[in-house]
Chains A and B, each alone.
Chain A
Amino acid sequence: MTLDFDEGDELRDLRAAVADLAGRYGHRWFLEQARTGGTVQELWAEAGKAGFLGVNLPEEHGGGGGGMVELAVVLEELGAAGCPLLMMVVSPAICGTVIARYGTPDQRDRWLPGIADGTLTMAFAITEPDAGSNSHEITTTARREGDGWVLSGQKIWISGVDVADAVLVVARLADAGKGTLRPALFVVPTGAPGLSRTQIPMELVSPDNQFQLFLDDVVLPADALVGSPDAGIAQLFAGLNPERVMGAAYSLGTARLALDRAAAYARDRRVWGTPIGAHQGVSHPLAAAQVEVELARLMMLKAAWLIDSGQDAGTAANSAKYAAAEAVVHAVDAAVQTHGGSGLSQENGIGALVTASRFSRIAPVSREMVLNFVAQHDLRLPRSY
């Protein structure tokens, strides 16, 4: 019987290499991009060139031939260095996974190499103004016209459309009628006529932007539909567990950054002769958050491993997302408190993590929806909706 928690040389080396790259940019650079309307494209391009963005994609399509374990580790390390790349949650993790598994050979050839090396970014659009987390109520509709498709509808809370080359849009097929969703996924180039976007101003200090999307009779060729029209539900499940794992990785990186900064400050800062970290009022909240981070990381790695080994990862991926979001909220809160007033100064940068960490409880799936899933799926409790 073997149960091995050792990450192994390659994963350790990957962590070190990503930390080396991200350390050349750092949190200060990231915040400066956010505050001056800049982007993270320079780091994105460099990470893509080094193969870090496509570690999970097949080698034959330009990826690294690894899995979600490697991809999650990359994002965690970027976050720990202060420059998490949000679009990794979407482009390689959701879109890359879906197209690699369900795309036609032509679609894989067309989209994956760019997603893998970062020269192409694909956003993902599922949520709608009138549906929220209830994806069965999705109204964006695809109807056949000639050989191709015409898409109409609205999407909201779509990340990074401004830096994306295309959007993977979840729609329902017109002939499937209302009720239980039979979704189909379409690749919509961001320049497609009829597709427009409005940025949603957010109280987040982030270079990544959120958008509302309007699809007004967007005409698409036949091969915009990913795979077969019957595989939509399977495609969604294939994409959403990686999304939750990456959501966890994003949170964990930020949590580590906050704890590293706070611990360094608490070791050094003396007020009445003693480093403030010696006071349990300071150390215990940090230590408790450290415990949460480590637990969440174990669950993130387990979920990623389940996905990579082709097993059901629903509970693990949701649990990891839940735990990591709680961990980052607690870590950032403790880090701000440890710093006192300077914790909210703009120069310090920790304060910028407050809304970002709070965002983790909501996106990509809310804490409440995760608990609903676990209540029904693992505890077999009745649903209220």
Chain B
Amino acid sequence: MNIVVLVKQVPDSGTERQLDSSDNTVARASADNVINEMDEYAIEEALTVKESQGGEVTVLTVGPDGATDAIRKALSMGADKAVHVSDEAIHGSCAVQTSAVIAAALSQLEYDLVICGAESTDGRVSVMPALLSERLGIPHLSGARKLTVDGSTLKVERQTDGGFWALEAQTPAIVSTWDTINEPRYPSFKGIMAAKKKPVETKSLADLGVDAGTVGLATATSQVLDFAGRPPKGEGVKVTDEGDGAEKLVGFLASQKLV
């Protein structure tokens, strides 16, 4: 089974992240960039499927030159090869434009299964797998907490607030995963050393046959017009216990919809 995992490099969500004040896009150059956390679960799932079904895992990423760090991480975990779409013209693209680029890249690959994280921690638009499903005309099994592969049949438990849905589709299909699906492996020393020898193909928009004028900030379907920092954390509420402390605490929790 040939599997393509979509991997995105994002600013570390554990650090303070910035927008670039010149064009209101995510400031990536100055950030501590890491592999999108949810994508590590997608990689793990792809490797697990490969281990049981055979085949090959290809990493596909769209991003600037520095995204090679994210690719290397995926390869060191055990993916076989990578395609890196890198083109200055892509800067500032919206989700719709990006999906056209990824779909074009996927069209040049042979795949039975595409796996991606359910969201990225930078944009958090969370629509990429659905957009790709539409563009490629393949089923989208979204929000998986469990994936079972039986021949060409994919079964997914789709996580919801109240339980799960049982989904089923035939390959080729795209599956998006939550962090409940597995525990990602860390790279072994051999994996780290092997990663540098694995093939990484870099492609431009021209290589994909995508017109540079159709992507990028200028023609994006959505743009960030303005932004403001998160307001500083306000003073907390102090409850003085005058015999009714518990009642006040429960009242506060209820007002925050926590109980």
Q: B-contacting residues of A (Cβ < 8 Å)?
A: 9-10, 13-14, 16-18, 20-21, 49-52, 55, 64-66, 70
Q: In whole angstroms, how far apart are the Cα atoms of A9 and B69 in the complex?
A: 8
Q: Shortest beta-carbon distance, B66 to chain A, in Å? A: 12
B191 to chain A, nearest CB (A): 8
Instruction: Judge whether B189 is part of the interface by a CB distance below 8 angstroms.
Output: yes
Asked if B73 and A13 sit within 8 Å, CB to CB, the answer is: yes
Cross-chain contact of B187 among A13, A49, A64 (Cβ < 8 A): A13
14 other A-B residue contacts (CB within 8 Å) besides A14-B192, A16-B73: A10-B192, A10-B196, A13-B76, A13-B192, A13-B195, A17-B186, A50-B187, A50-B189, A51-B189, A52-B189, A55-B189, A64-B189, A64-B193, A70-B189
Contact A50 B196 (CB under 8 A): no
Task: List chain A residues, Cβ under 8 A from B73.
Answer: 13, 16
Chain B positions within 8 Å of A50 at CB level: 186-189
A9 and B196 contacting across the interface, CB-CB below 8 Å: yes
Give Cα A17–Cα B188 distance, bound, in whole angstroms.
Answer: 7
Q: Is B8 an interface residue (CB 8 A)?
A: no
**In contact, B189 and A14 (Cβ under 8 angstroms):** yes
Cβ distance B10 to chain A, nearest Cβ, rounded Å:
16
- Interface membership of B72, Cβ < 8 A: yes
Is B190's CB within 8 Å of the partner chain A?
A: yes
Residues of B within 8 A of A14 (CB): 189, 192
Asked if A21 and B186 make an inter-chain contact with CB atoms under 8 angstroms apart, the answer reads yes
> B191 to chain A: which residues have CB within 8 Å?
17
Residues from chain B with a CB closer than 8 A to the CB of A16 are 73
Q: Is the interface of A mostly helix, strand, loop or mixed?
A: helix
Q: With the chains together, A27 CA to B189 CA distance in Å?
A: 23
Closest chain A residue to B188 by CB distance? Answer: A50
Q: Which listed residue, A17, A21, A49, touches B192 by the CB 8 Å rule?
A: A17
**Which single residue of chain A is at the shortest CB-CB distance from B68?**
A9
B196 and A17 contacting across the interface, CB-CB below 8 Å: no
* 14 A-B contacts (beta carbon < 8 Å): A9-B196, A10-B192, A13-B72, A13-B73, A14-B192, A17-B187, A17-B188, A17-B189, A51-B190, A52-B189, A55-B189, A64-B193, A65-B193, A66-B193
A51→B186 CA distance, assembly (Å): 12
The B contact surface, by secondary structure, is helix
What's the nearest-Cβ distance from chain A to residue B38, in Å? 16
Cβ contact within 8 Å between B193 and A10: yes
Please measure, in the bound complex, the distance between the C-alpha atom of A70 and the C-alpha atom of B188, giving whole angstroms: 13
In the assembled complex, the Cα of A16 lies from the Cα of B76 at a distance in Å of 11
Chain B residues, Cβ within 8 Å of A65: 193
**CA gap between A61 and B181 in the complex, in Å:** 36
Most buried by B among A16, A17, A18: A17
CA distance A153 to B72 in the complex (A): 52
Complex: how many Å from CA A20 to CA B77? Answer: 12
Bound Cα distance from A21 to B183, whole angstroms? 12
Name the distance in Å between B135's Cβ and chain A's nearest Cβ: 34
Q: Min CB distance, A81 to chain B, in Å?
A: 12
User: Distance (Å) between the CB of A23 and the closest chain B CB?
Assistant: 9
Can you list, as one digit per residue, whether each of B167-207 has a CB less than 8 Å from chain A (1) or not (0)? 00000000000000000001111111101100000000000
Inter-subunit contact B186/A66 (CB<8 Å): no
For chain B, residues 19 to 74, give those with C-beta under 8 angstroms from any C-beta of chain A.
69, 72-73
B184 nearest in chain A by CB position: A20
A16–B69 Cα distance when bound, in Å, is: 12
B195 proximity list for chain A (CB < 8 A): 13
With both beta carbons as reference points, the residue of chain B lying nearest to A64 in the complex is identified as B189
- Which residues of chain A are within 8 angstroms of B186 by Cβ–Cβ distance? 17-18, 20-21, 50
Tell me which residues across on chain A come within 8 A of B196, comparing CB atoms: 9-10
A295 → B minimal CB distance (Å): 24
Complex-state Cα separation, A163 to B152, whole angstroms: 48
**Residues on A with beta carbons closer than 8 Å to the beta carbon of B76:** 13, 17
Identify the closest chain A residue to B192 (Cβ). Answer: A13
- B36 CB, min distance to chain A CBs, angstroms: 15
Within the complex, what minimum Cβ distance (angstroms) separates B80 from chain A? 17
State which residues 180-238 of B face A: CB under 8 Å: 186-193, 195-196
Report the bound CA distance from A347 to B193 in whole Å. Answer: 39
Identify the interface centre among A18, A50, A70: most chain B CB within 10 Å of its CB.
A50
Whether the Cβ atoms of B72 and A9 lie closer than 8 Å is: yes
A349 to B39, CA, bound (A): 34
Name B77's closest neighbour in chain A (CB-CB): A17
How far is the CB of B194 from the nearest CB of chain A, in Å?
Answer: 10
Alpha-carbon distance between A21 and B72 when the two chains are bound, in angstroms: 18
> In the bound complex, how far is the Cα of B75 from the Cα of A13, in angstroms?
11
Residue numbers in B under 8 Å from A66 (CB-CB): 189, 193
- Alpha-carbon gap, A62 to B12, bound state (A): 35
Per the bound structure, the CA–CA distance linking A70 and B193 in Å amounts to 12
Bound complex: CA of A65 vs CA of B194, how far in Å?
12
Separation of A327 and B76 alpha carbons in the complex (Å)? 33
B193 surroundings in chain A (CB, below 8 A): 10, 64-66
CB-CB under 8 A from A13, the residues of chain B are: 72-73, 76, 187, 192, 195
The residue in chain B whose Cβ has the minimal distance to the Cβ of A51 is B189
Chain A residue nearest in CB terms to B186: A20
CB of A287 to closest CB in B, whole Å: 21
Note all chain B residues with C-beta closer than 8 A to A18: 186
Q: How far is the CB of B7 from chain A (nearest CB, A)?
A: 15
Distance, CA A18 to CA B189, complexed state (A): 9
Complex formed: what's the CA distance from A72 to B120 in Å?
Answer: 35
CA separation between A65 and B73, bound complex, in Å?
20
Query: How far apart are the CA atoms of A20 and B195 in the complex, in Å?
Result: 18
Cα A10 to Cα B194 in complex, Å, equals: 10
A325 to B189, CA, bound (A): 28
Determine the chain B residues whose CB is within 8 A of the CB of A20 once the complex forms: 186
> In chain B, what residue has the closest Cβ to A54?
B189
> CB-CB < 8 A to B192: which residues of A?
10, 13-14, 17
CA distance A50 to B73 in the complex (A): 15
A10 to B193, CA, bound (A): 7
